Amino acid sequence: MGVRGWIRTPFSAWASLSVVLVSGCGDETVAPSPSDLSIQLAPTSSGDQQTGPVATTLPNSLRVVVRRGSTAARGITVRWAVVGDAVGVQGSLSATSTTTDATGVASVNWTLGQVAGPQRAMASISDPAQSADSSVAFTAIANPGPASRLRFSVNPTNTFAARPITPAVRVSAVDAFDNSTGSAATITVVLGAHSGMGVLSGTTGVDAVGGVATFADLSIDQAGTGYTLSASATGLTGSTSAAFDVVTPGSGQIAFVSARDGNNEIYLMNADGSGQVNLTNNPASDYSPAWSPDGTRIAFVRSTNCHFGRCGGPPLLNIYVMNADGSGLQNLTNNPGSDDAPVWSPDGKRIAFVSDRDGNYEIYVMNADGSGQVNLTNNSASDVSAVWSRDGSKIAFVSSRDGNDEIYVMNADGSGLQNVTNNPGGDGGPVWSPDGSKIAFTRSSRIYVMSADGSGQVNLTNELGAHVMPAWSPDGTRIAYVFSVSCDPRACLGGSYIRVMNADGSGVTQLTNTRVDNSSTWSPDGTRIAFVSDRDGNWEIYVMNADGSGPQNLTNNPGSDISPAWRPR
């Protein structure tokens, strides 16, 4: 007769063993399979989904029950952890491991983190009968503490004298851990100590809504540097804003494009880099700033995928114009096509641009207020890169209508069309000389000059490397351009550099010597050149003397800054 008996070792974190005794005539005793361990939230008072103030201990402990099959499992190690990488966000637990009692229950206390919002903790066990851990999650909501101080959640930024500060200044009533509260306190702002001599105007006392006071119409009447605002409210510790400048628009300024705010915006700054002001301040992408001849307005392109009340699809381009301080914004083109590359006529009364509204890119012209839009080229080829002659009577542009890119010249009304290059090579980038007698352009990465009627074409840069982006000096005696070279990196360093030469190609001088310098543009008086460089790790705007001396980084911020455009005198 077989004898069956069990000897079971105590359960440990490593194994649960069964030993079987056998005897007699092949009668063998077989042990049952070990039952899997399971963990779940305690059926009552688990402590899940509690709410409490930040940095406080929740009133109910976190509790789990561990079972083997349907039986409570005693002496099982439960591991506890908060979930989240940021220090202090998810808080802390009173223990990292505890052991289940006779009812299979283990528990810890949870002190919430310092950041308001959802928080999460985990409990887990290891079962040698399974290949992976079993776990359960706890969630909690941490509410802000009581308001204790003020914080500028949107600091004032550089602005113009007597113009509203944009974006609107915001001050938040926050708790001891910087969480916004639901306070309805009345918050007051005044000019900070050591600010300029200006007077602060607008609504300076605002009731907070949801803990935030928005000051939509603040302005300061006098230019100056180092202005600050101070915020106060009864019973709360006050705050001082970041310093900002109040700027007066004037000559010697540079418009440019910056992505420092997360998307391309049009900015304005003084020629020494001070007083940088965001003129457009819009979620869309704004680029290609072009000054009116009198320096009072800026035309630019806005790219958005929202049009005629609908959003989505490829971005559409439209041309806008605004005053030099960002006021008076006006949308000049508003159609389903893309309108790009605005250029002012010398008298400031018209704007030439390119548009694909008729199915391919054509040269259009319109009045400065957007009226009278006319297609000047009106053919099936691509027509781009329009530039006005200095007297406004003609427009040069690039067209592929003859099978390759050629430079054409037409009268300002589209009549008198003439192919002035008429060459098998690709021609592009036309730029009129200041006196209107010549046109500089590029052909096969070389810079050429010709008379306005296309005669006398001369290659000014007949050497290895690419020579592009010619820019006439204001007096017409010199041409700045970008020279670039690529070669085996084991033999030389490739890159692009700013060079200048006399108008006849003589006297070539390299002005910069870093790896990538680009897009040179002359100051109105011809004494300085602005350009773009990545020498400091990202695209920044620099200015240097016309002989290459005294280079200065004007923008110097982590965002990309490009497309400098000098304000006319």
Phi, psi (rounded to 5 degrees) for 380: -80, -5
Lowest mean pLDDT among 191-200, 311-320, 330-339: 311-320
Gap between the Cα atoms of 400 and 405, Å rounded: 4
Which residue type sits at 505? G
| pLDDT for the residue 130 | 60
Gap between the Cα atoms of 190 and 201, Å rounded: 9
Half-sphere exposure in the Cβ direction for 466 (13 Å, CA): 14
| pLDDT for the residue 128 | 66
DSSP bridge pairs for 362: 355
- Contact indicator for 438, 448 with CB cutoff of 8 Å: no
Percent of the chain past pLDDT 70, that is, above it, reads 89
**Which two tokens mark 206?**
């605002």
Which domains does the chain show, CATH number per domain? 1-34 (no CATH), 37-143 (2.60.40.10), 149-247 (2.60.40.3960)
Gap between the Cα atoms of 486 and 327, Å rounded: 44
Which of 216, 220, 146 lies closest to 183, judged by CA? 146
Residue 275 has pLDDT above 50, yes or no: yes
Q: How far is CA 284 from CA 261, 266, 281, 287, 445, in A?
A: 11, 11, 9, 10, 34
pLDDT in tens, 83-92: 875 555 778 9
3-state secondary structure of 197: coil
Cβ neighbours of residue 262 closer than 8 Å, sequence gap 6 or more = none
DSSP letter for 26, please: T
Q: How confident is the model at residue 490 (pLDDT cuts 50, 70, 90)?
A: very low
Cβ neighbours of residue 384 closer than 8 Å, sequence gap 6 or more = 341, 354, 361, 363, 397, 398, 399
**Which two tokens mark 551?**
């280079």
Q: How confident is the model at residue 508 (pLDDT cuts 50, 70, 90)?
A: very high
Q: How confident is the model at residue 495 (pLDDT cuts 50, 70, 90)?
A: confident
Which residue type sits at 379? N
Residue 472 has pLDDT above 60, yes or no: yes
Residue 132 has pLDDT above 70, yes or no: no
Q: How far is CA 559 from CA 69, 151, 261, 534, in A?
A: 60, 25, 8, 11
| pLDDT for the residue 28 | 39
Gap between the Cα atoms of 470 and 429, Å rounded: 8
Gap between the Cα atoms of 417 and 132, Å rounded: 78
Model's pTM, two decimal places?
0.78
Strand positions, DSSP E, 33-148: 37-41, 50-53, 62-68, 71-72, 77-82, 92-93, 97-99, 105-108, 110-111, 117-125, 134-143
Q: How confident is the model at residue 14 (pLDDT cuts 50, 70, 90)?
A: very low
Residue 549 has pLDDT above 70, yes or no: yes
Which of 428, 449, 432, 361 lies closest to 395, judged by CA? 432
pLDDT in tens, 160-212: 998 899 999 999 999 999 999 999 999 999 999 877 789 999 999 999 999 99
DSSP bridge pairs for 322: 298
Gap between the Cα atoms of 237 and 152, Å rounded: 12
Q: Which strands make up the sheet holding 169-174, listed edge to edge?
A: 205-207, 186-191, 229-233, 236-240, 149-154, 169-174, 212-215
3-state secondary structure of 246: strand
Half-sphere exposure in the Cβ direction for 8 (13 Å, CA): 9
| pLDDT for the residue 146 | 95
Angle at 54 between CA 52 and CA 58, to 5 degrees: 40
Gap between the Cα atoms of 215 and 513, Å rounded: 47
| Residue position matching structure tokens 């009692």 | 101
Percent of the chain past pLDDT 90, that is, above it, reads 75
Gap between the Cα atoms of 440 and 446, Å rounded: 10
Which residue type sits at 310? R
Strand positions, DSSP E, 155-241: 159-160, 169-174, 186-191, 200-201, 205-207, 212-215, 219-220, 224-227, 229-233, 236-240
| pLDDT for the residue 337 | 84
Ramachandran sector of residue 260 (left: φ over 0; alpha: ψ -120 to 50; beta: rest): alpha
**Which two tokens mark 528?**
């300085």
Q: What is the mean pLDDT of residues 202-230?
A: 95
Gap between the Cα atoms of 547 and 529, Å rounded: 9
**Which two tokens mark 205?**
């006392």
Cβ neighbours of residue 569 closer than 8 Å, sequence gap 6 or more = 251, 295, 524, 525
Q: How confident is the model at residue 20 (pLDDT cuts 50, 70, 90)?
A: very low
| pLDDT for the residue 209 | 97
Half-sphere exposure in the Cβ direction for 324 (13 Å, CA): 22
Q: How far is CA 340 from CA 331, 362, 396, 409, 413, in A?
A: 13, 10, 16, 20, 19
- Contact indicator for 317, 340 with CB cutoff of 8 Å: yes
Lowest mean pLDDT among 54-68, 79-93, 269-283, 332-346: 79-93
- CB atoms closer than 10 angstroms to residue 435: 12
| Residue position matching structure tokens 């004298």 | 161
Q: How far is CA 245 from CA 161, 241, 333, in A?
A: 9, 12, 33
